[in-house]
Chain A
Amino acid sequence: MAALRFDPFFRDMSHPVKPTPVGAVVILVVLVVLSLAAIVPLYWMFATSLTPSAMTVRFPPELIPTEPTLDNYRAVLRQPNFWNWVRNSVIQAVSVTAVVVATASMAGYALAKLPFPGSRALFWLFILSMMLPFEAILVPLFLVVTRLGLVDTYLGLLLPLMAAPFSIFLMKQFIQTLPSELIDAARVDGASEPRIFWEVVLPLVRPGLAFLGIITFVAQWNSFVWPLVVTRSSSMRTLQVGLVLIREQEPLFFGLQMAAAMLAAVPVIVVFFAFQRYFLRGVTVGALKG
């Protein structure tokens, strides 16, 4: 709720239980301390990535690099498979996101507005599966992919990640809240279901689609366990796995590790800041009552 007038202590003046000015200052201090604890490590990654190698092995470390250099970044780009890793991560993030957004919204629409015999049961099956952690099926999934001959291939990497019960659930929630009149009217007009879906439903749930797309993209970019297990050749690894490989090969080269980490983190941070409001707002929609 917007403040009615600007309060020097940043308080929401319409809130019934306002802190006193002193209280507000205390709150600010606590919040700053807690948030700094979380942000400082990220800053440290940034600072170390610009610190020359010889300076990182110095104690105490310097908090602000006095001789910043791009050498670490150059070293990262010289890593034999770095661009392969980036390419693979991009392929994973983009294709899985595209497929999930498309198929989950379709499935969500069907479960919300196109009941068929068994759709209820199917929905409950999806819900139940969300309770099962991924790691529990990691081993048999790996065996299935192995026997299909898909280890170390794109299909093997991408297909299992596209099964997304939670996304279905999310889209169902979004679509369920849509007013029925528009859809019923379109049906009466004789429009086919695909057309209704494409022309009526999708435009209305665009924020939900955007939100789903963003969180899926971020989750895929950051994923580690499945790419670790299913990719084997150096050229098929994704960026997150590559970061660990870099560390294993050069455990003492901290500037290199941090520069690589920066390169992997920055795209997502940029996405985050660009779509901030979707993140912060959309997170709650899925949790609202249907």
Chain B
Amino acid sequence: MRRSPLHVLVALLALSPVAAAQPQIELTWWINPWRIVTPDMPEGASPTGEEYARYMSERFMELHPNVTVRYELVPNAGFGEKVTTAIFAGNPPDVLKDLDWNPDWAREGLLEPIDTYLTDEDREDFLPYALAKGLVDGQHYIWPWNNSNNGMGSTLLLNTALFEEAGVEIPALPDRAWTIDEFLAAAEKLTMDRDGDGTTDVYAITFAARDVENMLSWLMRFGAKLMNDEGTEFVLNSEEGVRALQFIVDLVYEHGYAPRGGEALDVYGTIENLHNGRAAIGYGGIYEIGRIDRYLKEGRMANPIDVVIAPFPHDPAVGPIAYETSGGFLVFKQQDDYKREMAMEFARFLTNTENIQMLESLLYITARRSANAQLDFANVADYTEDVSTEVQVYQSAIDHGVPFFGPSDLDISAAIEHFTAAMEAALSRSKTPQQALDDFVREANRAVFGR
């Protein structure tokens, strides 16, 4: 579908020198912190997330002098609450990062559909599942921006020094794929009691009950799914799901390859264990390598560790599974036509081929094919010399991405606390995997579907 001539005309007008005659408008933009290094930052400085928002706002305002972009950096915690409150108060932002969005907003008429603003090239260039994320009742509402996340649910980080010490081979390139059996064999060796005092000094990996993405990723190893294909009920307590959860529990209690107490941990607990060498394997993708670099720079990590990326191990009968997700920007309903044009223009500006590549400094892949082709990650983390291999491994891993949380137009947030409770129960052995998952499915169905 081509842009209508009217849109083209208005866009041309907006960009023309006649812009000074255009009305003065203000756009509000809410985004969580993305620690992107902007060209105007001093050498070696550590981004806080504000620089990107400011930089993009200023660049857009240069192009459109009659537009003022007021950005608001919203912390991750409480992001959804803040947006919902604003909706209730009747003053949501104009452009919003979709960190915590609710598909019902589209159904309630709160969002602007973007379909008439997408060109044919856009539809070809944006990755299909990235576009599909914002698809509600046949219309798209999200301008895709980042492809995938920081690696949680898709890839693992392997501590090369500990692997070497344990005498375990890093899985082979080009994609470092490994099977569950190979993982088990490695885990046995990676669990080490160095001084022979009976207490394990190094574990193979950490499981954290509050770490939703990674735990769900493990549960899907043998083919289980959170929801059925239609997205009408939760089915995680299938035979494969129970088997996967049992597998994890056994890793902790039977084999001792993962530390006990995982019921009290969240993802930061797994990061901590990886960073201080207590676990040989951690979670995440290239962004997490960037975290190590950042912590070293800030003096928060005493001893550097060298990590490489590998996908989650897979079951040969099922094949590799990664977490398919993406993110982007949505535009709230506008009363004023010109303002709508400008808001869309801004969202397009953020996600055009040139600007979308700013994600590179964060070691993220973009949602545009044309942009991804140009990424080389040359200007990246100081201490990791050659990240390009890791990038390739990561990209091949997320090629096997599948949606984890059901259809994108369904809001299942009410079920998540029950999932965490089920993981806490299983990891503390206060329920068997079957019980934990049965209870979860029952509570989740009740919470989301009311039955």
Contact = CB atoms under 8 A, between A and B. Distances in A.
Contacts of A248: 75-78
Given A80-B48, A80-B73, A232-B86, A252 B271 contact: yes
A122 to B, nearest CB: 33
B77 A232 contact: no
21 contacts: A52-B299, A54-B300, A54-B301, A57-B276, A71-B299, A80-B48, A80-B50, A146-B88, A149-B89, A232-B82, A232-B85, A234-B72, A234-B74, A245-B75, A248-B76, A248-B77, A249-B75, A249-B76, A251-B268, A252-B268, A253-B300
A151 interface: yes
A35 interface: no
Given A80-B73, A245-B77, A249-B75, A53 B299 contact: yes
B272 interface: yes
Interface in A23-73: 52-54, 57, 71
B302 interface: yes
A192 B73 CA distance: 54
Per CB-CB distance, the 10 closest pairs between chain A and chain B, nearest first, are: A248-B77, A54-B302, A232-B82, A146-B89, A251-B268, A151-B89, A53-B300, A252-B272, A146-B88, A252-B268
Nearest to A57: B276
Contacts of A251: 266, 268
Interface in B269-309: 271-272, 276, 299-302
Interface residues of A, number: 19
A245 B85 CA distance: 18
Nearest to A147: B89
Interface of A: 52-54, 57, 71, 80, 146-147, 149, 151, 232-234, 245, 248-249, 251-253
B11 to A, nearest CB: 32
A53 B82 CA distance: 31
Contacts of A147: 89
Size band of the interface chain B makes with A: 20 to 34
Contacts of B76: 248-249
A57 B268 CA distance: 13
Nearest to A146: B89
Contacts of A57: 272, 276
Given A146-B88, A233-B74, A234-B74, 11 more contacts: A54-B299, A54-B300, A57-B272, A57-B276, A80-B48, A80-B50, A232-B85, A233-B82, A249-B76, A252-B272, A253-B300
Nearest to A232: B82
Contacts of A245: 75, 77-78
A246 to B, nearest CB: 10
A57 B86 CA distance: 39
B85 A151 contact: yes
Interface string B59-101: 0000000000000111111100110011011110000000000
A252 B298 CA distance: 13
B77 A249 contact: yes
Contacts of B271: 252
Contacts, number: 50
B358 to A, nearest CB: 20
B85 A233 contact: no
Nearest to A248: B77
A91 B74 CA distance: 23
A71 B276 CA distance: 21
B298 to A, nearest CB: 8
A248 B81 CA distance: 15
Nearest to B73: A234
A151 B88 CA distance: 10
Contacts of B302: 54
Nearest to B90: A149
A208 B81 CA distance: 41
A147 B91 CA distance: 11
A149 B85 CA distance: 11
Contacts of B90: 149
A53 B272 CA distance: 13
A71 B300 CA distance: 11
Nearest to B302: A54
Interface string B37-53: 00000000000101000
A146 B78 CA distance: 17
A57 B82 CA distance: 33
Contacts of A53: 299-300
A71 B301 CA distance: 14
Contacts of B85: 146, 151, 232
Nearest to A156: B89
A249 B91 CA distance: 26
Nearest to B33: A249
A225 B86 CA distance: 18
Contacts of A252: 268, 271-272
A215 B353 CA distance: 58
Contacts of B88: 146
A70 to B, nearest CB: 13
Contacts of A232: 81-82, 85-86
B419 to A, nearest CB: 20
A57 B277 CA distance: 12
Nearest to A229: B85
A146 B90 CA distance: 9
Contacts of B91: 149
Nearest to A150: B89
Give the interface centre of B73, B78, B266, B276 by most chain A CB atoms within 10 Å: B78
A252 B302 CA distance: 14
A14 B301 CA distance: 61
B128 to A, nearest CB: 34
Contacts of A151: 85-86, 89
Contacts of A146: 85, 88-89
A132 B144 CA distance: 49
A30 to B, nearest CB: 34
Contacts of A253: 300
Contacts of A52: 299
Contacts of A234: 72-75
Give the interface centre of A232, A233, A248, A253 by most chain B CB atoms within 10 Å: A232
